Amino acid sequence: MSDRLITLPDIYETEIEIIAEAFELKANAIRESEQITSVEDSFEASHAADAMATLKQLEKGITDSHKDAKAPVLRIGRHIDGLKKDYLCEIESERTRLSRMLGAYQSAEREKQRKAEEEARRKEHEAIEAEKQNQLDALIANDQEALKASDEAIDRVKRESAAQIASQHSAVKGVRVRTSIKFEIEDAALLLKHRPDLFSPDESKIRAALKITQSISGLKVWEEKTAY
């Protein structure tokens, strides 16, 4: 698959520069302004005001020109953003749908694995404890063959336990599961009555409150598992 899914606009060779007349106007305005070293009477005040007005006019002119020069580029940027948004709409919807289904599956399989592991460890522990008694009897009787057989039996039990654990789930490798708390406001009036600090329903505040307790009147709260 190509790394570039959007054609690149051919604007990189476009030269954008300040026109020569603008530099001339700037030089004249600065030169005129620098000649004013004091304002002590009405004539000097008027002269300073005129010079300042010229500088302000140039400031406004370059600001307006800057805005006009950027406008086409911003339009291109918005157009590119729109292309991306439209392109991703169905993709994100389908990815989210699959993510939820896969997240639920992964979670169920890992819970199955956890239970299988607990059971296998329990059986392994019981079998090893039984073999320990056989080992003790073999040591007392100085029966090296029985001791060796008991050691092999313990190794076999451990291998069988690991194999049993591995066979008890089919979660997809490399897919992790994230659990996030979701909510839906069922009764805004009830929520306002019990938790006015969450109104006007501020999702950031609600999420912070849900980290403390998921039992909040007026909220429907659930967990949603997504794979990533």
pLDDT for 85: 93
Diameter over CA atoms, the chain? 123
Give the pTM.
Answer: 0.51
Least confident of 22-31, 77-86, 98-107: 98-107
pLDDT for 63: 95
23, β-bridge pairs: none
| Average pLDDT of the chain, as a whole number | 83
Q: Which residue's entry shows tokens 């409150």?
A: 209
Peptide bond into 200 cis (omega under 30): yes
Residue with the bigger pLDDT between 201 and 59: it is 59
Question: Contact at 8 Å (CB) between 223 and 182?
Answer: yes
Please report which confidence band the pLDDT of residue 8 belongs to, taking 50, 70 and 90 as the band edges. Answer: confident
pLDDT for 55: 94
pLDDT for 228: 53
List, in sequence order, the alpha helices (H) in 20-41.
20-34
Side-chain half-sphere CA neighbours of 78 within 13 A:
6
CA distance 61 to 120: 80
Task: Report strand pairing: 219-227 vs 177-185.
Answer: antiparallel
Q: How far is CA 112 from CA 39, 105, 166, 219, in A?
A: 87, 10, 11, 31
Mean predicted confidence (pLDDT) in 153-157: 75
pLDDT for 201: 73
pLDDT in tens, 33-70: 999 999 899 998 899 999 999 999 999 999 999 999 88
- Residue type for 108, please? A
pLDDT for 227: 56
pLDDT in tens, 96-121: 899 888 888 888 888 887 887 787 77
pLDDT at 141 over 80: no
3-state helix, strand, coil in the chain (%, to 5): 70, 10, 25
DSSP 171: P
Question: Contact at 8 Å (CB) between 18 and 66?
Answer: no
pLDDT in tens, 166-200: 665 566 677 777 778 888 889 988 988 888 888 77
